[in-house]
Amino acid sequence: MKRVLITGGAGFIGSHLSERLLNEGNDIICLDNFFTGSKDNIRHLIGNNRFELVRHDIINQYLAEVDEIYNLACPASPVHYQYNPIKTMKTSVIGMINMLGLAKRCKAKILQASTSEIYGDPQIHPQIESYWGNVNPIGLRSCYDEGKRCAETLMMDYHRQNNIDIRIARIFNTYGPRMALNDGRVVSNFIIQALKNEPITVYGDGSQTRAFCYVSDLVDALIKLMNCNYSQPVNLGNPDEHTIIEFAKLIIELTNSKSEIVFKELPSDDPVQREPNISLAKRILNWEPQIQLKEGLLKTIEYFDKIIFQQ
């Protein structure tokens, strides 16, 4: 049994990770400031005596004795991370320094939830870990992209300078139950719009691509990564790539919706193409996604249907 700190543990991915690690017999400290996370996501875990919920903001120091840290605290959707960009940067940078300081004091292993956004609008496709990226340092997405890039730099420097045992997960678009209703990301937006028979908002002409990973696959990968001894960045995601317009049509089909597609302005610096090369993860983690897009979407649709209509 390990004592595991999960920052952002009441968020979408964090709540699934908390549940899994708790079910595997670990002691969990779930730390969150509830900016985008919610007690509803982890309500079923509260009351378990191996689960501790702490309201805390990682831009302030936190002290505890832990064996492992999963640092997931950070708003992930463009709408949320652009709401207060200075706070987003503080969370990524000051929060990272605080968590690395804690890892140093406790001699804990630390995993950082990095992102495909560190590749920016990539000029290499699919993206491989050795690619340094194409990131606008002064745009609307920069608070997140550059914050996460700086966090990776801090991870590597604490590793080289202080011998901290680190893991860097470059997470690509992940979806599933417990995404927030107001999250604003494409999967939740399209499903909610389709279920309500409202217009599906495709930004730009919908030719941009993304590849979507179901949350249980990602959680498997995060745990495998923590348990291996590889300290360089690893891409985690599902390489099944789709254009956004194809994706909109698929959601309409799966929900049997009467929604029409409407086209809205493309947000600035929206990456044109994104797909992970996961050869490294396959090799070192013996992992690859198991849940096909339709299967994962049906589970997610069922979740939103319940949240929207049956409460």
74 binds ligand NAD (CB under 6 A): yes
Residue 52: which residues within 8 A CB-CB, separation 6 or more?
A: 27, 28, 29, 30
Q: In sequence order, what are the beta bridge partners of 53? A: 30
Name residue, tokens 């996604």. 289
Residue partners of 133: CB distance under 8 A and separation at least 6: 118, 119, 120, 122, 149
Q: Is 121 in the site for ligand NAD (CB under 6 A)?
A: no
The binder of 208, among ligand UDP, ligand NAD, none, by C-beta within 5 to 8 A per type, is ligand UDP
CB of 79 to ligand UDP, least distance (A): 8
Could you say which of 18, 88, 208, 255 contacts ligand UDP (CB under 6 A)?
208
> What is the nearest approach in angstroms of ligand UDP to the Cβ of residue 159?
27
Task: Report the nearest approach of ligand UDP to the CB of residue 186 (Å).
Answer: 3
Select 38 or 201, whichever has its Cβ closest to ligand UDP: 201
Is residue 115 at the binding interface for ligand NAD, with CB under 6 A as the rule? Answer: yes
Nearest to ligand UDP of 51, 247 (CB atom): 247
The answer for residues whose C-beta is within 8 angstroms of residue 41's C-beta and 6 or more apart is 10, 11, 12, 14, 15, 178
Spatial contact of 200 and 248, defined as CB atoms under 8 Å apart = yes
Told to judge if 144 belongs to the known catalytic residues of this protein, a careful annotator would answer yes
83, 131, 203, 303: residue in contact with ligand UDP (rule CB under 6 A):
203
Task: Check 144, 158, 175, 214 and give the catalytic one.
Answer: 144
Residue 276, strand partner residues: 127
Binding residue (CB under 6 A) for ligand NAD from 6, 8, 110, 226: 8
**Whose Cβ is closer to ligand NAD: residue 247's or residue 259's?**
247
Dump the DSSP string for 109-165.
EEEEEEEGGGGBS-SSSSB-TT---B--TTSTTHHHHHHHHHHHHHHHHHHHHH---
Contact in structure between 181 and 196 (CB atoms under 8 Å): no
Q: Is 235 in the site for ligand NAD (CB under 6 A)?
A: no
Whole-angstrom distance, CA of residue 307 vs CA of residue 230: 39
Site string for ligand UDP, 65-104 (x = CB under 6 A): ------------xx--------------------------
Residues in the chain: 311
The answer to whether 267 contacts ligand UDP (rule: CB under 6 A) is yes
Contacts of 130 (CB under 8 A, 6+ apart): none
- DSSP letters, 255-302, are HT----EEEEPPPTT--S---B--HHHHHHH-----S-HHHHHHHHHH
Site string for ligand UDP, 168-197 (x = CB under 6 A): -----x-----------xx--x--------
User: Using the rule CB under 6 A, is 33 a contact of ligand UDP?
Assistant: no
Confirm or reject binding of residue 73 to ligand NAD (CB under 6 A): yes
Which tokens sit at 266?
């493309």
**Sign of dihedral through CA atoms 291, 294, 299, 300?**
positive
Question: Is the separation of the CB atoms in 56 and 62 below 8 Å?
Answer: yes
95 is an interface residue for ligand NAD by CB under 6 A: yes
Select from 158-166, 201-209, 276-284, 292-300 the region that touches ligand UDP (CB under 6 A).
201-209
- Please select the residue that binds ligand NAD; options are 164, 166, 171, 202, rule is CB under 6 A: 171
Return the active site residues.
144
List contacts with ligand NAD (CB under 6 A).
7-8, 10-14, 32-37, 57-59, 72-76, 91, 95, 113, 115, 171, 173-174
